[in-house]
Amino acid sequence: MAKFNINDKVGDIVSIYPAAADIFMAYNIDFCCGGDRPLEVAAQEKAVDAVKILDEINKKYEASINEKQDYEDYTKYSSKDLIDHIVNTHHKYLWEEMPTLSKLTQRILAAHGDNHPELNKVKTLYEDLRKELEAHLKKEEDILFPLMKAYEDAEEGKAKDDMLEGIRNLQDEHETAGNILKELRSATDDYKVPDDACPTYVMTYKKLEEMERDIFLHIHLENNILFKRYEE
Ligand SMILES: [Fe+2]
Ligand SMILES: [Fe+2]
């Protein structure tokens, strides 16, 4: 029995079955900023077969149920716990990884930039992303997340309008980061390393691709689960 159908929203599918994120990423389907679209629409945009993707998801989902695989169900987290989880895993990861990737993108540019001029673009895009994300993470940690926690405690907050405006602003910033990631993916030809790449080059692309994945999952938790609760 099929569990999901093509009218289900891609963000909701990932909320229920997190491993679907990897399937969507393989097809370049945006499930975090564009999580509100039905699978049929999201697949159409990428000119891929929604039924085929759905089939793949449902098969894996059924197998995971049969094998009793456990997935962390973030929809069941309280908003406070979800915020703490986001900060302690995804934010922590970015704060640790971003300076390292600045050094690495600089190093491969210096060593291989002559033969691979696209590394200039990679460096520029990466630094744009880092700058965007640093301001964004700070805004969440210092302003919006404390507001959200306080709102939950008070049940009805006077500051709700401010908070909703803040949330819309964060969603726009997610979109900006998502667009830079798209450009990075195309500048690196889907993170394909050239034949003459050194181990540092390989590691840098691997880390950049890991960062993309982590950011998508991070934005998914915020846009499709956390922020939605306050907007309803
Ligand atoms: Fe965040
Ligand atoms: Fe965010």
Q: What digits encode the pLDDT tens for the residues 82-135?
A: 999 999 999 999 999 999 999 999 999 999 999 999 999 999 999 999 999 999
Is 4 a domain residue?
no
Is 40 a domain residue?
yes
Distance in angstroms (rounded) separating the CA atoms of residues 6 and 229 = 24
90 and 61 in one domain? no
53 and 85 in one domain? no
204 close to 16: Cβ distance less than 8 angstroms? no
Task: Give CA separation, 129 vs 90, 109, 167, 200, 214, in Å.
Answer: 15, 17, 20, 21, 14
Cα of 213 vs centre of ligand 2, distance in Å, is 14
Cα of 111 vs centre of ligand 2, distance in Å, is 34
178 and 114 in one domain? yes
140 and 188 in one domain? yes
Distance in angstroms (rounded) separating the CA atoms of residues 190 and 205 = 9
Is 175 a domain residue?
yes
Q: Which residues surround ligand 1, an ion (CB under 5 A)?
A: 140
Amino acid at 14: V
43 close to 50: Cβ distance less than 8 angstroms? yes
Residue 69: what pLDDT?
81
53 close to 39: Cβ distance less than 8 angstroms? yes
220 close to 16: Cβ distance less than 8 angstroms? no
Cα of 136 vs centre of ligand 2, distance in Å, is 6
- Which of these, 203, 221, 211, lies nearest to 184 by C-alpha position? 211
Cα of 82 vs centre of ligand 1, distance in Å, is 11
Distance of alpha carbon 21 from the chain centroid = 9
Distance in angstroms (rounded) separating the CA atoms of residues 111 and 107 = 6
Residue 67: what pLDDT?
87
Residue 155: what pLDDT?
56
180 close to 125: Cβ distance less than 8 angstroms? yes
Residue 68: what pLDDT?
83
Distance of alpha carbon 59 from the chain centroid = 24
Residue 82: what pLDDT?
97
Domain encompassing residue 33: 10-66
109 and 90 in one domain? yes
136 close to 199: Cβ distance less than 8 angstroms? no
Helices (H), 113-193: 118-139, 145-154, 160-187
222 and 140 in one domain? yes
Ligand nearest to the CA of 94: 1
182 and 101 in one domain? yes
Cα of 110 vs centre of ligand 1, distance in Å, is 32
Amino acid at 183: E
Cα of 122 vs centre of ligand 2, distance in Å, is 22
Residue 31: what pLDDT?
94
Distance in angstroms (rounded) separating the CA atoms of residues 212 and 190 = 11
Cα of 114 vs centre of ligand 2, distance in Å, is 36
Residue 185: what pLDDT?
96
Residue 232: what pLDDT?
75
Q: Which residues surround ligand 2, an ion (CB under 5 A)?
A: 222
Cα of 198 vs centre of ligand 1, distance in Å, is 33
Q: Which residue stretches of the chain have pLDDT < 70?
A: 1-2, 152-158
